[in-house]
Amino acid sequence: MTRFLTVCLFITALLRSTAVSGQSTDRSPERMTHNVVLVTVDGLRWQEVFGGSEEALLDKDAGGIKDIDATRKRFHRETAEERRAALMPFFWSVIAKEGVVYGNPEHDSRALVTNGLNFSYPGYSEILCGYADPAIDSNAKKDNTNITVLEWMHSKPGFEKSVAAFCSWDVFPFIINENRSRIPVNAGWEPLGTDETLGLRGTPAGNVLSNLDEISREFPRYFSDVRYDYITYRAAEEYVRARKPRLLYLSLGETDDWAHAGRYDLYLDAASRTDDYIRRLWQTLQSMPEYKGRTTLILTTDHGRGDNRVDWKNHGEKIEGSEFIWMAVVGPDIAPEIIRNSTVTQSQVASSVAAALGFNYIDEVPNAASPLPVIK
């Protein structure tokens, strides 16, 4: 792990050395992005993103699949391109075609976690803060002492009360430090309709959220700390319609939990549903004048997973390959291209969020990595 951290620190320093200095509110007059939506999909492997369903896991022993024929019919195809399109049609027909995707080994493109631990709290803190913090070494519900880019942007003119987070995992109020940041963070099985921080109680959107709460109460809670992603996505969508935030964070979690449960069929199903939630959210955004042609979407994951019939269920510093992830960016300021021969890191996401909005994050957070190269 020490050697891996040394390499990652070198990469981060190299990436930072390419950053362009400037004022924190320096905006290009040609910039079209006015809003950013950041989406993370917990523990979704690059193997499925770029290759679709994996043949070696489409069985009962390794994949825990209940109906092999039905799963194969839904997701299995002859080529990797066909399989990934069957699994994530919106990602490959829109995001990849109109934007950029990082982490495809076929193109010698790598996306890496730099914290060396390869699990959730360290990963999400790295994503949201722009650097790995060695003090964050567990998933314990402890307030993050580091300031996230969400909190940082929340302090900027024009972003007061215009940043929000909807998350399926119940640790996020601590990762984002809701008490200090004063950002609305609705996470886990927390009620939506009565959440005063959302400011929607008694409104039409608040009534929808109350209906979602009723659904949540009626459904069995298979995962005690992770709410079903549909509830999280729908809540975020209603909030967008009602409050029109300029920076929205949506974190979906079922992919990770079904993988840990050893259910490859339900893991694939969760990945497919997630792709559709992103499609529906993007279409909602494009139907609203505040967002249409003015919104950049950034997607990634908090960690990878193992790459064999046993380790695909797990991740962590002892699981080989779980440091490899994927990223994607699409928006009005992003020129479509196939990324080749490149290395990017999870720690570049925070400054990329700020840069997409025209702010120089690393001027004030000098230990953060520079933005992704496609975000000028």
The mean per-residue pLDDT over the stretch 315-320 comes to: 98
Q: Assess whether pLDDT exceeds 80 at residue 15.
A: no
Q: CB within 8 A of 273, min separation 6: which ones?
A: 229, 230, 254
Indicate which CATH number applies to the domain containing 274: 3.40.720.10
* Residue 373 domain flag: no
Q: Which domain holds residue 32?
A: 2-364
* Residue 370 domain flag: no
Of residues 41 and 9, the one with the higher pLDDT is 41
* Residue 376 domain flag: no
- Which of the four pLDDT bands, split at 50, 70 and 90, describes residue 376? confident
Q: Assess whether pLDDT exceeds 50 at residue 329.
A: yes
- Which of the four pLDDT bands, split at 50, 70 and 90, describes residue 18? very low
Would you state the pLDDT for residue 20?
Answer: 36
Tell me the two tokens of residue 275. Answer: 């792709």
Distance of CA 186 to the CA centre of its chain: 16
The mean per-residue pLDDT over the stretch 80-108 comes to: 98
What is d(CA 106, CA 109) in angstroms, rounded to the nearest whole number? 7
Bridge pairing between strands 247-252 and 163-167: parallel
* Residue 374 domain flag: no
Q: Assess whether pLDDT exceeds 80 at residue 14.
A: no
**Percent of the chain's residues with pLDDT above 70:** 92
Of residues 50 and 21, the one with the higher pLDDT is 50
* Residue 334 domain flag: yes
* Residue 226 domain flag: yes
Please, what is the average pLDDT of the chain? 93
The mean per-residue pLDDT over the stretch 293-321 comes to: 98
Would you state the pLDDT for residue 28?
Answer: 56
* Residue 186 domain flag: yes
Would you state the pLDDT for residue 146?
Answer: 98
- Which of the four pLDDT bands, split at 50, 70 and 90, describes residue 24? very low
Would you state the pLDDT for residue 6?
Answer: 46
Per-residue pLDDT of 250-305, as tens digits, reads: 999 999 999 999 999 999 999 999 999 999 999 999 999 999 999 999 999 999 99
How many structural domains compose the chain?
1
Cα torsion 53, 57, 60, 65: sign: negative
* Residue 372 domain flag: no
- Which of the four pLDDT bands, split at 50, 70 and 90, describes residue 193? very high
